[in-house]
Structure 1
Amino acid sequence: MGPLALVIEAPSYHALAAMIITVLMFVEFVRGKLSIEIVSLLTIAIIAVGLYFFPLEGDRATDGLVIAFGGFGHYALITICALMVMGRGLVVTGALEPAARFLERVFKLNLQLGLLVSLVIAFVLSMGVNNTPVLVLLIPIFATLASRGAMPASKTLMPLNAASLLGGLATTIGTSTNILVVSIATDLGMPEMGVFHFTPIVLAASLVALPYIWLVMPRMLKDNRVEDVQARRRFYSRLRIGEDSILKGRELAAVIPRLPGDIEFHDAPLGLLQPQQRLLMSGPHEALEEAIRMLRGEAAPGWVLDRIRRRSAELREDIVVVEMTVTADSRLLDRTLPSSGIADLHGVAVIGIHRPRTVIGEKDRYSEGGDLRMAEGDVLLVMGLPRDLQDFARSDALLQLEGMRELPRRSKAWLSAGIMVGTVGLASIGVLPIAIASLLGAILMFVTGCVKFDRVGRALSGQVIVLVAASIAIGRIIDESGAAAWLGQALSLGLGDLSPALVLASIMLFVTLLTNFASNATAATVGTPIAFAIANQLGLPAEPLVLAVLFGCNLCYATPIAYQTNMLIMAEGSYEFTDYIRTGLPLVLIMVVTLSIGLAVTYGL
């Protein structure tokens, strides 16, 4: 092996400052004393002020503002926001419910089996399709599953993200970073690599990594679900069996396994069920809605339900379900739902009643017809249009609680699914860049009414937006200050004394460090030429060292700023910065060791 230069110039003060800012930002994220938003905004402010008074060589004072604030208009941030909007469209139209129900049945058989099947699906899909749209499809599905009592989203989304990144690593088309590294290597004179050129190495490493992702990672993550009062309320509803109900002519026991697990039936009749029979059932808010939909029964008079749907279509307003408390001044006290005239007077439908601190079923709680008499403190689950619900609450002295929930616009389910499939398809086969395809999809979601303009704020996360902007600013200052190039030169010191396998591991770790704190593009553009030069100086084949760079660029598990899919799962899983470090660092070490061994064995080093 030829000796490498043992002298390296000190970094410029801009490069040194960039490295210090990056380390301080990381330390503050780990400490967790300041919110992610505050740390991100402080980072942007420090870069902006610093570059204004101490601009980069050849730059004007105002050029630093472009570096500091350019992230807010960067295509990566716009892409992430557009993908969030499309994900919202899939949720509010109920387009993903069939997939969610299938996976829910698998999870009901066994939670670990359900997670394994999901991880394999994410891994395989990401081998042939860019992993970003794959995860965009999976995130709302697993958020829905979590709301139905499967594993919490915080325990599934990070493993799914890791599996999709692992699958994306396996082919040259799996991620845009792979394509970039292969292109740079080809420009440097290396032969072009095929799609599955290095797939066997990644598959071998995956045999070690996937068990960790499947069995260990979920146990290292907390249950980040927010428990609230509404989630614990059980609403009682009388369901009338309709002519097209799946209960018609069947025994209740045959249908119960298909319903959400927290639905209960009380005083259920024996034998085959017939139309117009009424069943008393109970469950939490969302579970009750899902059971009513699946059973195709009516929890309120059919005429008022038809009227609500008709007015929703005419006025182009969403149907919502809210919770309202009966106060001491309400005219509803001691009345039953049939005698209250709620539907006639206000055009809304009460589909369930929750009574705190009492047991439903006590004889004196019912009228002679078997209907519950309302009492002070009862919580009504009411469906209707927003203006009608407000009129009902005001007229009948009801207190509207938090937790208004829009019913899915199922008439647009196929439309939103088609928009998402088309967007993913265009990006996957390279017809359009992912940024343009996602923007096109988001626009179509708005134009077709799958997502309402006044509801778009619910799809976006302010935390993710400022974090992405800060990470882009950090990536640019590390690159343009020369910090990345200086770190690459520092890496080359002493590599001549290491074995080829350790040289591979060192390069991979260096690129992994860059990709987790700067960006994949920075890591690829800096790391690939350095690996090529080191291979020439040490007399090693260039291909395994370049592949070490490619692999390192994809080992972005340890920080949320490392890759856009890490950002996408952050808000939905309620993750903290330390969650990525705790679960990601072991995975990075597993992959570095297994991939380095795989490269050394494959290339006979």
Structure 2
Amino acid sequence: MPGLPSPHAVAAMAVTILMFIAFARGKMSIEIISLLTIAVIAVGLYFFPLEGTAPADGLALAFAGFGHYALITICALMIMGRGLVVTGALEPASRFLERVFKINLQLGLLVSLIIAFVLSMGVNNTPVLVLMIPIFAALAHRGALPSSKTLIPLNAASLLGGLATTIGTSTNILVVSIAVDLGMPQMGVFHFTPIVLVASLFALPYLWLVMPRLLKDNRTAAEAKQRRFHARLRVGEDSLLNGHELKTVLSRLPDEIEFHDPPAGPIRAQQEFYVSGTHEAIEEASRALRGEVAPAWVIDRIRRKADESGTDIGVVEAIVTADSRLIHRTLPTSGIADLYGVAVLGIHRPARVIGEREEYSQSGDLRIAEGDVLLVMGVPENLNEFATADSLMQLEGMRELPRRSKAVLAATIMGGSVGLASIGLLPIAIASLAGAIVMFLTGCVKFDRVGRALSAKVIVLVAASIAIGRIILESGAADWLGQTLALGLQFLSPSLVLAAIMLFVTVLTNFASNATAATVGTPIAFSIASQLGLPAEPLILAVLFGCNLCYATPIAYQTNMLIMSEGSYEFKDYIRTGVPLVLIMVTTLSIGLVLTYDM
């Protein structure tokens, strides 16, 4: 008969419940709630230290999350993910999935879920998700499903795949290792895979068809409505258009691109025609067709300047003001490229009709007017000089062009880190940290751009979750909950015992950590099996499964936190989508264990 919990255990459970309520209500930001949680733990343990500890030990416990390997791992993975984005290393994979999504959005999502599931069976699900996050962010930007509707389902699919093998997650390895130490035989890699595959047949349709409908479109209005620019596309000697009719290559181009008065018959090298579309669509079309929307000599000059100065090439939007000398000029007569070494890629004309003849010169070039928005490419120094000298007002949000010369290098670094972690040569923390360092040293990610890769919300949330996990364990709250659970299970049938253990560990892993749940739950399950005369293996597997059902809160697992910033998720998004999935998995996995072990 367990006694009353200690005051520290009661306080630990109270702080955890209050933190959860605050997150779920959403009245305060996640950063404030996380910092308040850490502060309460620090102050409480300073004035009321745990037995056998000094006040300073409580401070160390509360703030240990900021130096914890889990947080370092997450930050390193974010940096490597940034490296893949800024070098364009994932563009081939992104274009492949984009073609699938073009066929059908639902088909594209299903294919993506299956890929994440299968890969995570043999590779730790964390690097799998790190690879897929920037791909789906790019797809969302190109008009596929918004990342807020895809990342939580993808994360859940990777967790399902990781659940299927003993090597799928580090938690599985931990549970199996503890079980061996308790005297159980070693489990093979696919020891319980059939049970998980059957359960996944029920879970994957939920991820595919239901979960995206429970998530909001978190794209901003600016992202939803982008400016369309008019540009002149020149056909190069090696262009796919050279010698072919335009209709033969239209299927390879983005939907947002439009051709104005396209020539009939085969197109010749150096031929020019007008196109319009978003910046991304024009860029994608020029790359796919190997054409040019600015003179080649200007582009080469910009690239040389970027290499010499060690700066990134950027693209900005700049509004033509009433004082600008560019008004009534055309791009060829403006001398912009000669004077400033920048390239104007396109012109957006708001609230006016393109096509009126007075807006064009005799050569067919559009005359620049007040209020036009120019899409300009160059190094930051030259862009600022151009805007100042020609009375342009730069809009916020310079977009840096991918450094494609380092794309293969960035992909190799990420592949090496993932490979070393997957085959067990290095822990994921060391492999990811080493990969991030190499990204810095090789210039794939620049030191002054680190802030763009990291999320303050994720950092303080990770630190708070680590502090909660430690106080739950060290205060004795986890042990007391386990003993109380064991006392009540003696009155239940074997099938309900399995479900209760799995549900208990699931709750623990969603509020503390999966490592805590595995460390506490495995010995408890082994002890319950001995006391009730049940086979130990299915109860141990109930713990293993429960440790992986970490869908209901962002603090439950590191990949939950990785997607939080990119998907613009709130705490309640995880609750709304994760709780039904937890119930589906607990039910199906419990039935699978009962049938498999004839209980």
Determine if contact 2:94/2:135 at 8 Å carries over to the other structure.
yes
Aligned equivalents of 2:140 and 2:283: distance in 1? 16
Aligned-pair CA distance for 1:391: 0.4
Determine if contact 1:557/1:587 at 8 Å carries over to the other structure.
yes
Aligned equivalents of 2:49 and 2:255: distance in 1? 61
Question: Which of 367, 376, 386 is the aligned partner of 2:370?
Answer: 376
After superposition, give the CA deviation of every residue in 1:122-174 in whole Å (9 maximum; x if it has no partner).
00100001100111111111111111111110111111100000000000000
**1:569 maps to 2:563:** yes
Query: Which residue is equivalent to 2:335?
Result: 341
Aligned equivalents of 2:576 and 2:337: distance in 1? 54
Gaps of 5+ in 1: 1-6
Query: Which residue is equivalent to 1:355?
Result: 349
**1:200 maps to 2:190:** no
Question: Which of 563, 576, 582 is the aligned partner of 1:582?
Answer: 576
Equivalent AA in structure 2 for residue 467 of structure 1: L
Aligned-pair CA distance for 1:494: 2.1
Equivalent AA in structure 1 for residue 469 of structure 2: G
**1:81 maps to 2:75:** yes
**1:130 maps to 2:124:** yes
SS where residue 371 of structure 1 aligns? coil
Aligned equivalents of 1:283 and 1:489: distance in 2? 64
Aligned-pair CA distance for 1:403: 2.0
**1:544 maps to 2:506:** no
SS where residue 280 of structure 1 aligns? strand
**1:535 maps to 2:501:** no
- 1:269-308 equivalence runs, <5 A: 269-308=263-302
Aligned equivalents of 1:279 and 1:23: distance in 2? 64
Equivalent AA in structure 1 for residue 456 of structure 2: G
Question: Which of 209, 212, 218 is the aligned partner of 2:212?
Answer: 218
Determine if contact 1:231/1:284 at 8 Å carries over to the other structure.
no
Equivalent AA in structure 2 for residue 506 of structure 1: A
Aligned equivalents of 2:251 and 2:51: distance in 1? 69
Aligned-pair CA distance for 1:251: 1.4
Determine if contact 2:141/2:223 at 8 Å carries over to the other structure.
no
SS where residue 497 of structure 1 aligns? coil
Aligned equivalents of 2:254 and 2:147: distance in 1? 17
Gaps of 5+ in 2: none
Equivalent AA in structure 2 for residue 349 of structure 1: A
SS where residue 231 of structure 2 aligns? strand
Query: Which residue is equivalent to 1:393?
Result: 387
Determine if contact 1:247/1:274 at 8 Å carries over to the other structure.
yes
- TM-score of the pair, normalised by structure 2: 0.99
Aligned-pair CA distance for 1:227: 1.9
Q: Kindly tell me: are residues 283 and 594 of structure 1, through their superposed partners in 2, closer, same or farther at Cα, counting changes over 3 Å?
A: same
Q: Which runs of 4+ in 1 moved over 2 A?
A: 229-232
Question: Which of 432, 440, 446 is the aligned partner of 1:446?
Answer: 440
Q: Relative to structure 2, which stretch is displaced further, 229-238 or 75-84?
A: 229-238
SS where residue 240 of structure 1 aligns? strand
Query: Which residue is equivalent to 1:176?
Result: 170
SS where residue 351 of structure 1 aligns? strand
Query: Which residue is equivalent to 1:492?
Result: 486
**1:413 maps to 2:407:** yes
**1:501 maps to 2:484:** no
Aligned equivalents of 1:195 and 1:401: distance in 2? 55
After superposition, give the CA deviation of every residue in 1:304-351 in whole Å (9 maximum; x if it has no partner).
111111211222211110000000000001100011000011010000
Determine if contact 1:149/1:261 at 8 Å carries over to the other structure.
no
Aligned equivalents of 1:251 and 1:227: distance in 2? 37
Aligned-pair CA distance for 1:375: 0.7
Question: Which of 457, 463, 469 is the aligned partner of 2:463?
Answer: 469
Determine if contact 2:551/2:574 at 8 Å carries over to the other structure.
yes
Aligned-pair CA distance for 1:231: 4.4
Aligned equivalents of 1:576 and 1:254: distance in 2? 45
- 1:305-344 equivalence runs, <5 A: 305-344=299-338
Aligned equivalents of 1:490 and 1:236: distance in 2? 70
Query: Which residue is equivalent to 2:550?
Result: 556
Percent identity at matched positions?
77
Aligned-pair CA distance for 1:363: 1.1
SS where residue 376 of structure 2 aligns? strand
Aligned equivalents of 1:464 and 1:257: distance in 2? 40
Determine if contact 1:446/1:452 at 8 Å carries over to the other structure.
yes
Aligned equivalents of 2:308 and 2:366: distance in 1? 34
Aligned-pair CA distance for 1:496: 1.4
Query: Which residue is equivalent to 1:67?
Result: 61
Query: Which residue is equivalent to 2:252?
Result: 258
Aligned equivalents of 2:404 and 2:501: distance in 1? 51
Aligned equivalents of 1:119 and 1:232: distance in 2? 29
After superposition, give the CA deviation of every residue in 1:544-594 in whole Å (9 maximum; x if it has no partner).
000000000000000000000000100011111000000000000000000
Aligned equivalents of 2:493 and 2:343: distance in 1? 74
